[in-house]
Chains A and B, each alone.
Chain A
Amino acid sequence: MPDELAIEARAVTRVYKAKPNPVTALGGVDLAVEPGEYFGLLGPNGAGKTTLIKILTTLLLPTSGTAKIAGFDVVHETSKIRRVINMVAGGEQSGYGLLTLREQLWMFSQFYGLPQRDGWRRVDELIEITGLTEQRDQKVRTLSTGQRQKLNFARGLLNDPWVLFLDEPTLGLDVAAARDLREHTLSWKAAAPGRTLLLTTHYMVEAEQLCDRIAIVDRGKILALGTPDELRRRVQAESIFRLELDRLPQNGGIAGIGALPGVLSAVRADEEIADGAGSDRVALKVALDSDSALTSVVTAVAERGSHLVGLAKSEPSLEDVFVELVGRGFGDEDGAGGTS
């Protein structure tokens, strides 16, 4: 791969004309996505995620700033960009209902310039990969929502894009269909290096499962950017572990554990013990200044006559991160302007 970033945005703004006042959908976004990276834009409706995707896929001009795909400028080098990208949106109803699933994919393969024979081969390959073999000769209008979205996903891979944009790809899908689609996305990544994904979603699990790095977006601005772990550490510096023990530690008990080097606090959390787990069982919540202090805690527990029967690390969710950054949850309001 050459040195160019797969996706690059510098101070990108986008203002929509609207009455009574213009709406700022993007207020100066900076982004640098490496080739081969899976990058997520996480934010509520109206955060500006879709606007950014429209700019990066050459559908919209930025009001100011610059954006590039594989080094190609989105304003002046649209033709070149369109040869290396593809886009799939959630709830997409593209194509023509009277065509069969196979015909529809072939039609789109022609729009991406695939030679006829290669087009059919690629179509059949993708039908098999996405598990649509049984529906291949079914008319598109008779497909279920989940099947339809798998078809859209297959369409997005027809030209084997270097940069794939997925805009809320699992919107409206049931749990199983959404999981299938996420698995397909991960398989696509595993199949070849250098493929880059930009995903917009407001599903935390999806962002966490698919993305190497995530930008939390709200009201047209990136509020935080990093790996899921980095983002979580922004709101919780200490490591918190939950230990389940067969009995209460002796010789100084919990206070003794709390006094160990590297341990910030240790408290009982018995309410989290499952019913019927045994009447002597106790649960401790210990806060450590780093994960490495855990070894001394486990040793101290054993020295005090207790046995460890369960251990879990307690981490903040990405939603906790969002609430911490924005001061409200995802569902609390729709964000600015209604332009996403």
Chain B
Amino acid sequence: MSGYGSTVATNPREAADWSTGRVIRSNLRAVAGRAYPRVIGLTREPSWLFFEIFLPFLAVSAFVFVYRALEAPEAFVGFVVLGGAMTSFWLNVVWMMAAQFYWEKDQGNLELYFTAPMHLMSVLAGMAIGGLVMTSSRALAVIGIGSLLYGVTYDIQQPFLLAGVFLLTMIPLYGMGMLFASLFLLWGREAFHLAQLLQEPIYFLGGVNFPLRAIGPIAGVVIATLPLGVGLDAMRQLAFAGSGVQGVLPVGVEMLILAVMGVVFIVAARLALGYLEHLARREGRLTLRWQ
């Protein structure tokens, strides 16, 4: 009894004595476990086809028509389509990462996460990886449909670098979501409003529907703080290399910024989570459904 895996314990003290390897394996399993509902949700909730592809696509289309009416460079159409795809990730980070702990608390899951023998970072990592897989399919659908419908021509000279920048963008973006998950819970009960508060400003400041360079000096500040803006600017430079439209900073510099942001957000998420757990245990709130 109480034996699973490689250890068969005969008493609780023995059962609690896990090797470092077992701790690591258990946490990796927890990541997979938490990612599972997100990935499986793709096939269980087909309504996402409407809400997360069709509706965002209307906004993309509006900008495409505006740019064409203004006779803007044709690359701008591609910028908007790419921005529309990246919007899916931002929405996923805000609604399915940042606000998630709040909802998990309401369902009673947070209590169970706390009492399970895993680190809460594994839960966040599982949410992030599951969300990334789920959202990638949506983003690809936006790019595919948008490119076909509006005849976007890509000029990708360094495909591996483009893929690398995409992955490098995802780390700080989801790291920010992991950080916000704890902060939303700490700040208050209105995760819904906090998520809404963040949504539109980031659309603007992230340059989702226009090249970041167009907003002038502010762009520099944006670049330094928002992974979505930095990543999108770098990806546009690499996806439309021959368009003549310049990014805010060279791709190499933007990659460096993304890497630093990735470390900062994930370390901050880890610290915030530790503080959250401490506060939850000390104050008797946050994890308890009735409070």
Assess whether A107 is in contact with B13, with CB atoms less than 8 Å apart: no
Interface string of A2-41 (1 = CB under 8 A from B): 1010100000001011000000000000000001000000
Residue A59 at the chain B interface, CB threshold 8 Å: yes
Contacts of A82 in B (CB 8 A): 115-117
Assess whether A4 is in contact with B37, with CB atoms less than 8 Å apart: no
Residue A266 at the chain B interface, CB threshold 8 Å: no
Interface size in chain B (residues, C-beta < 8 A): 46
Chain A residues numbered 117-172 whose CB sits less than 8 Å from any CB in chain B: 118-119, 122, 139, 159-163
Assess whether A113 is in contact with B26, with CB atoms less than 8 Å apart: yes
Residue A192 at the chain B interface, CB threshold 8 Å: yes
Contacts of B18 in A (CB 8 A): 83
Assess whether B2 is in contact with A92, with CB atoms less than 8 Å apart: no
Which one, A86, A93, A191, contacts B107 given CB within 8 A? Answer: A93
Assess whether A107 is in contact with B284, with CB atoms less than 8 Å apart: no
A194 to B11, CA, bound (A): 8
Contacts of B114 in A (CB 8 A): 58-59
Residue A108 at the chain B interface, CB threshold 8 Å: yes
A83 to B26, CA, bound (A): 11
For A162, give the chain B residue with the smallest CB separation.
B12
Contacts of A194 in B (CB 8 A): 1, 11
Which one, B15, B37, B44, B113, contacts A83 given CB within 8 A? Answer: B15
A155 to B282, CA, bound (A): 27
Contacts of A16 in B (CB 8 A): 284
A89 to B77, CA, bound (A): 54
Residue A116 at the chain B interface, CB threshold 8 Å: yes
A57 to B32, CA, bound (A): 24
Assess whether B29 is in contact with A114, with CB atoms less than 8 Å apart: yes
Residue A1 at the chain B interface, CB threshold 8 Å: yes
Assess whether A2 is in contact with B11, with CB atoms less than 8 Å apart: yes
Assess whether B26 is in contact with A93, with CB atoms less than 8 Å apart: no
Chain B residues numbered 144-185 whose CB sits less than 8 Å from any CB in chain A: none
Assess whether A115 is in contact with B29, with CB atoms less than 8 Å apart: yes
Assess whether A59 is in contact with B288, with CB atoms less than 8 Å apart: yes
A17 to B283, CA, bound (A): 8
Residue A70 at the chain B interface, CB threshold 8 Å: yes
For A87, give the chain B residue with the smallest CB separation.
B115
Which one, B41, B116, B280, contacts A111 given CB within 8 A? Answer: B116
Residue B45 at the chain A interface, CB threshold 8 Å: yes
Contacts of A215 in B (CB 8 A): none
Question: Quick one: given A110-B33, A163-B12, are A118 and B118 in contact (CB under 8 Å)?
Answer: no
Assess whether A103 is in contact with B40, with CB atoms less than 8 Å apart: yes
A256 to B22, CA, bound (A): 75
For B282, give the chain A residue with the smallest CB separation.
A61
Q: Which of B15, B113, B280 has the most CB of A within 10 A?
A: B15
A59 to B287, CA, bound (A): 8
Interface string of B24-66 (1 = CB under 8 A from A): 0111011011101100110011000000000000000000000
Residue B16 at the chain A interface, CB threshold 8 Å: yes
A108 to B26, CA, bound (A): 12
Which one, A79, A89, A96, A116, contacts B29 given CB within 8 A? Answer: A116
Question: Quick one: given A58-B114, A59-B288, are A95 and B109 in contact (CB under 8 Å)?
Answer: yes
For B14, give the chain A residue with the smallest CB separation.
A2
Assess whether A109 is in contact with B33, with CB atoms less than 8 Å apart: yes
Question: Quick one: given A58-B115, A59-B281, A82-B117, are A115 and B4 in contact (CB under 8 Å)?
Answer: yes
Assess whether A113 is in contact with B16, with CB atoms less than 8 Å apart: no
Given contacts A70-B16, A87-B112, 9 further A-B contacts (CB under 8 A): A70-B13, A84-B12, A98-B37, A98-B41, A106-B33, A111-B29, A115-B25, A115-B29, A161-B2
Q: What 6 pairs across the A-B complex have the smallest Cβ distances?
A: A110-B33, A113-B26, A70-B12, A80-B16, A162-B12, A111-B116
A sample of 9 inter-chain contacts (CB < 8 A) reads: A51-B284, A69-B12, A83-B117, A94-B111, A94-B112, A110-B36, A115-B4, A115-B29, A163-B12
